[in-house]
Chains A and B, each alone.
Chain A
Amino acid sequence: MANSFKYGGYVGQLLRVNLTNKGITKEPLREDWARDFVGGAGLAARILYEELPPKIDPLGPENKLIMMTGPVNGTMIPAASRTAVCAKSPYTGSFFHSIFGGFLGPELKFAGYDGLIVEGQASSPVYIWIDDDRVEIRDASHLWGKDPFKAQEIIRKEIGDEEIHIATIGQAGEEKAPYAMILCDIRAAGRGGMGAVMGSKNLKAIAVRGTGGVTVPNVLRVYNTAVRLNQLVATIPAVQGLAKYGTPRNVAAMNEGGILPTRNWQTEVFKGMKDITGEVMREKVVKGDRACFACSINCTKYSVVPKGKYKSVINGVDYETIYGFGSICEVDNIEALCKADELCDHYGLDLISTALCIAWAMECYEKGIFTKEDTDGIDLKFGNVDGMLQMIEKIGKREGLGALLAKGTRAAAQIVGKDTYRFTVQNKGLEWPGHTCRPFPAAAVGYATGPRGGSHHDIRPTAEKSGMVDRRTLEGKGALAAEVNHWLILCDSMLLCHLGEPIWGPLKISNNTIEALNAVTGWELDYEGARKIAERQWNMIRCFSAREGFTREDDQLPVRFMEEPVPEGPMKGSCIPKETLERLKDDYYSYRGWDLKTGNPTKEKLIELGLDFAIKDIC
């Protein structure tokens, strides 16, 4: 199979494992789908649209979990090490792709597969062991209940190979907590409950060892492209700093700009910021740096708190940890943030959703909606660091208030009532990352219309945040949001890291992205060709959501962002009122050629993009 595929960069083979009947099959990758959807999230969306009946239970055996690589994975192109885990999400109810870095995706290709499709449901805990051609479904009873890192350690020991790469779930995934994550070696596919889908299949882990390679049509061209891209990584100012400070390099600057979300987004300026910056992290806890496969950005930090009550060893902290457990919960202790990060990994919880659930509970507590009776005696005020850590444990164990918070803020607010929905910071059920939209209209419409809801990987506020475009006008913002969607989804199908934003974007698909794809595949796409693929991918995902029943009405922002202007700082007064959002949605849908009433792609648009097969479902 290898090397006979029509296009470079691909193996040309998918691995399908059915956990119900223990069937293991290897099947050819469709050439037309590779060309039309590339790989990663784009290709997985096409496969799941084909194979999943609408409205299935995401935690039932009918759902499928796809681990998908892309053509650039496993080559020497930098910032191209990521892997997409895709399924119908138990958290948002639609197609979801959660992407992680590291080594597992390239390893899967080296083993001989462009992707792994897991279907059905095992009758008892299992793990999948992929050793090049040899694939086994193994008993995992002894791993069930184990911390993800411990499970990885046991698997490596029993297989006798330290070099294998492993994706594992924790206790949260085993118990199908809807925002459970998958830990892939040291990196997380954090969002959207992909860990719960894995847990619903009784699948504890996926372990991979591959000894093959990736074939490209012109090695010299790929080499030259990689050299040039590495030069960009080393010299572009907006990428510099990741190697030393990781993603937290931006904490202090964002606070100065009045865009560091704080106190469950009640404000965007944090007075305790100076103790949780990237600089403080580097000085106090970072002990080393780590990089993903073939990546020169080198953003991952290895941190240790050697003693005391926050004793921990983690890979991080990342910006989202500092935002989520720091400014959002008003905690200004970097060592405690390391502990929070470690606890989320231990239980296998998505860090962003966990933090936002706790912040919502803190706001409920301070407003008198929750009392100490509800919190098992914890004085759950903002800034109570130990209370916050205790709540992570409770969520992980689904104990007391933790059992409610483990459902996510949207579901929890529906249960609690009392208008608590108004301060859930989520849309489509997914809690928000630490990148505001209140001053940024393109980001606002991008978040609202994004298939995953609160994901900063469906839209980026960078263009408006940097002054590249005027943040104070609504004009052209629908088009900007759509073109940012396009470079992001093309990256998520090639599995390029969004931290290379100045290289791959940032306003639209860049020539660097197109050249990386062309060099590896042998395609000679121009901008229009690449854009059309990305537009097809985006519309494919929209069709999936539409078939599930999503409409224009689901494209919303958190109430807080529409009704509560930023109260202080340089962005004081910023918000996106409902009427403004509706105008932005009209602009966005019009630019996309979508129906203004339903928000769905029109028949004409689907025909134009070769998505005719979806007409019967959504038009």
Chain B
Amino acid sequence: MARVRVKSFSVIRDVLGAEVIEIDVAHPETVGGLFNALVDKYGQPFKNRIWDPNTGEMVPFLMKLNEETLISSVSDLDKEIQDGDEIVIIFPIGGG
């Protein structure tokens, strides 16, 4: 098992219950696998924040891995994550 920290904001944070949560995932695990684990734990409300129900696809967004690397839900779901890693969900939002 690997323990991973997930940091999020706004309505994703609301579903996860806190700005930073920890979750146990298989080891080795990928970024995509982490999101599946989050769906298993937090259910449809979490899925509704990340997957577009109209297309059934995960929406494009960036994540920050361990304070330094930016990765994308479009191209990096196969990236391996390790015990102790932190992922920050950076949702693609424009301003008004």
A547 at the interface (CB under 8 A from B): no
Residues in B whose Cβ lies below 8 Å from that of A319: 95-96
Which has the most chain A C-beta neighbours within 10 Å: B9, B53, B59?
B9
Q: Across the interface, do B11 and A238 meet the contact criterion of CB distance under 8 Å? A: no
Given contacts A237-B50, A279-B13, contact A253 B91 (CB under 8 A): yes
Given contacts A232-B54, A245-B10, A247-B95, contact A467 B74 (CB under 8 A): yes
State how many angstroms separate the Cβ of A209 from the closest Cβ of chain B. Answer: 27
Q: Across the interface, do B73 and A467 meet the contact criterion of CB distance under 8 Å? A: yes
Residues in A whose Cβ lies below 8 Å from that of B80: none
Q: Across the interface, do B60 and A249 meet the contact criterion of CB distance under 8 Å? A: no
Residues in A whose Cβ lies below 8 Å from that of B93: 238, 241, 247, 249-250, 253-254
A323-348: which have CB < 8 Å to B? 323
Binary per-residue interface labels of chain B (28-47) against chain A in the complex, 1 for a CB within 8 Å, 0 otherwise:
00000000000000000000
Given contacts A435-B95, A467-B62, contact A277 B9 (CB under 8 A): yes
Pick from B62, B69, B88: contact of A466, CB under 8 Å: B62
Residues in B whose Cβ lies below 8 Å from that of A249: 9-11, 93
State how many angstroms separate the Cβ of B1 from the closest Cβ of chain A. Answer: 26
Binary per-residue interface labels of chain A (471-499) against chain B in the complex, 1 for a CB within 8 Å, 0 otherwise:
00000000000000000000000000011
A240 at the interface (CB under 8 A from B): yes
Residues in A whose Cβ lies below 8 Å from that of B62: 257, 465-467
Residues in B whose Cβ lies below 8 Å from that of A502: 59
A132 at the interface (CB under 8 A from B): no
Residues in A whose Cβ lies below 8 Å from that of B7: 256
Pick from B59, B64, B96: contact of A238, CB under 8 Å: B59
A252 at the interface (CB under 8 A from B): yes
Closest to A300 in B: B96
Q: In the bound complex, how far is the Cα of B49 from the Cα of A483, in angstroms? A: 27
State how many angstroms separate the Cβ of B70 from the closest Cβ of chain A. Answer: 5
Q: In the bound complex, how far is the Cα of B9 from the Cα of A319, in angstroms? A: 15
Number of interface residues of B (CB under 8 A): 34
Binary per-residue interface labels of chain B (60-74) against chain A in the complex, 1 for a CB within 8 Å, 0 otherwise:
111010001110111
Q: In the bound complex, how far is the Cα of B88 from the Cα of A456, in angstroms? A: 25
Residues in A whose Cβ lies below 8 Å from that of B54: 231-232, 235-236
Residues in B whose Cβ lies below 8 Å from that of A466: 59-62, 72, 74, 92
Q: Across the interface, do B74 and A235 meet the contact criterion of CB distance under 8 Å? A: no
Residues in B whose Cβ lies below 8 Å from that of A371: none
Which has the most chain A C-beta neighbours within 10 Å: B70, B74, B75?
B70
Closest to A320 in B: B95
Task: Count contacts between A and B, CB distance < 8 Å.
Answer: 120
Residues in A whose Cβ lies below 8 Å from that of B70: 257, 570-571
Pick from A323, A468, A499: contact of B74, CB under 8 Å: A468
Q: In the bound complex, how far is the Cα of B70 from the Cα of A570, in angstroms? A: 7
State how many angstroms separate the Cβ of B57 from the closest Cβ of chain A. Answer: 11
Q: In the bound complex, how far is the Cα of B61 from the Cα of A250, in angstroms? A: 13
Q: In the bound complex, how far is the Cα of B91 from the Cα of A257, in angstroms? A: 9
Residues in B whose Cβ lies below 8 Å from that of A245: 10-11
B16 at the interface (CB under 8 A from A): no
Q: In the bound complex, how far is the Cα of B7 from the Cα of A538, in angstroms? A: 41
Residues in A whose Cβ lies below 8 Å from that of B73: 467
Pick from B48, B68, B72: contact of A237, CB under 8 Å: B48
Residues in B whose Cβ lies below 8 Å from that of A501: 94
Binary per-residue interface labels of chain A (241-283) against chain B in the complex, 1 for a CB within 8 Å, 0 otherwise:
1001111011011101100000000000000000001110000
Closest to A235 in B: B53
Closest to B55 in A: A236
Q: Across the interface, do B61 and A467 meet the contact criterion of CB distance under 8 Å? A: yes
Q: In the bound complex, how far is the Cα of B75 from the Cα of A247, in angstroms? A: 27
B4 at the interface (CB under 8 A from A): no
Pick from A253, A277, A467: contact of B72, CB under 8 Å: A467
A265-312: which have CB < 8 Å to B? 277-279, 299
Q: Across the interface, do B95 and A468 meet the contact criterion of CB distance under 8 Å? A: no
Pick from A235, A467, A498: contact of B94, CB under 8 Å: A498
Closest to B9 in A: A252
Given contacts A237-B52, A241-B10, A257-B70, contact A318 B95 (CB under 8 A): yes
B6 at the interface (CB under 8 A from A): no
A434 at the interface (CB under 8 A from B): yes
Residues in A whose Cβ lies below 8 Å from that of B53: 235
Q: In the bound complex, how far is the Cα of B74 from the Cα of A499, in angstroms? A: 22
State how many angstroms separate the Cβ of A326 from the closest Cβ of chain B. Answer: 12
Q: In the bound complex, how far is the Cα of B54 from the Cα of A498, in angstroms? A: 20
Q: Across the interface, do B60 and A253 meet the contact criterion of CB distance under 8 Å? A: no
- Nearest first, the 4 A-B pairs at minimum CB distance are A467-B72, A466-B92, A319-B95, A250-B93
Beyond A323-B95, A468-B92, 13 additional pairs, beta carbon < 8 A: A235-B52, A235-B53, A237-B52, A237-B59, A240-B48, A244-B10, A257-B62, A299-B96, A318-B96, A434-B95, A462-B94, A498-B94, A499-B94
17 contacts between A and B (CB under 8 A): A235-B48, A235-B53, A236-B59, A237-B91, A238-B91, A241-B93, A244-B10, A245-B10, A247-B93, A250-B93, A256-B7, A257-B62, A318-B95, A466-B92, A501-B94, A502-B59, A570-B68
Q: Could you list which residues of chain B lie within 8 angstroms of chain A, going by C-beta atoms?
A: 7, 9-11, 13-14, 48-54, 59-62, 64, 68-70, 72-75, 88-96
